[in-house]
Amino acid sequence: MKSTNSVFIATSMDGYIADKNGQIDWLHDLPNPENDDMGYHAFTEQIDALVMGRTTFETVCSFDIEWPYTKPVYVLSRTLKKIPEEYTGKVFLVNGSLKDVLAKIYNEGHYRLYIDGGATIQSFLQEDLIDELIITIIPVLLGGGTALFSDLNSPLQFKCIGSKHYLESVVQNHFKRNR
């Protein structure tokens, strides 16, 4: 089965995923009276599992909310020894090279993966392992923060296959890797 590694993430106009203070409240500053999820639910319906780094996992755990994922979550970490018991059956610790990690996940029957978290997305891009990026641009210039993208050894070509508008303010661009 063909595998797909997808990114679904929001950035500022200047490409940040967190502001200078590490905060993400600016993501929710826009009036959203009908709680439009900007395609998030429809996207997650199309994936088999998530892959994220330890930082993203711990951030999600720190939110005072129910565990938000219905699909298996693979947490990439070299330092984490054990997933807390309450996440048994939902969260799985993986480590090793990304190719090995992916082979293991495919072997468990998950081919359409949601790759999440800045550092994890950057590692995948560095090995040209991302097939599509759906980037929601929150129309603010933050002027500093944590960048979504980082250095690459060589350029990667994509094509923009579509754009959607939300809340009369936000644009979401869908890029596919041109291989």
DSSP string, 81-95: ----GGGTTTEEEE-
DSSP, res 71: S
15 is an interface residue for its own copies by CB under 8 A: yes
23 binds its own copies (CB under 8 A): no
Interface with its own copies includes 169 (CB under 8 A)? Answer: yes
Q: Is residue 21 involved in binding its own copies (CB under 8 A)?
A: no
Tell me if 88 sits within 8 A of 106, measured CB to CB: no
DSSP class of residue 87 equals G
- The minimum distance between CB 136 and its own copies, in angstroms, equals 10
CA 42 to chain CA mean position, Å = 15
CB of 166 to its own copies, least distance (A): 9
Helix or strand or coil: residue 23? coil
* Residue of the chain from 7, 113, 133, 134 that contacts its own copies (CB under 8 A): 133
Q: How many residues bind its own copies (CB under 8 A)?
A: 40
Query: Which residues are CB-contacts of 168 (< 8 A; sequence separation ≥ 6)?
Result: none
Query: Considering the rule CB under 8 A, would residue 19 count as an interface residue with its own copies?
Result: yes
Applying CB under 8 A, the residues found at the interface with its own copies are 12-15, 19, 26, 29, 125, 133, 135, 137, 139-144, 148-160, 162-163, 165, 168-171, 173, 175, 178
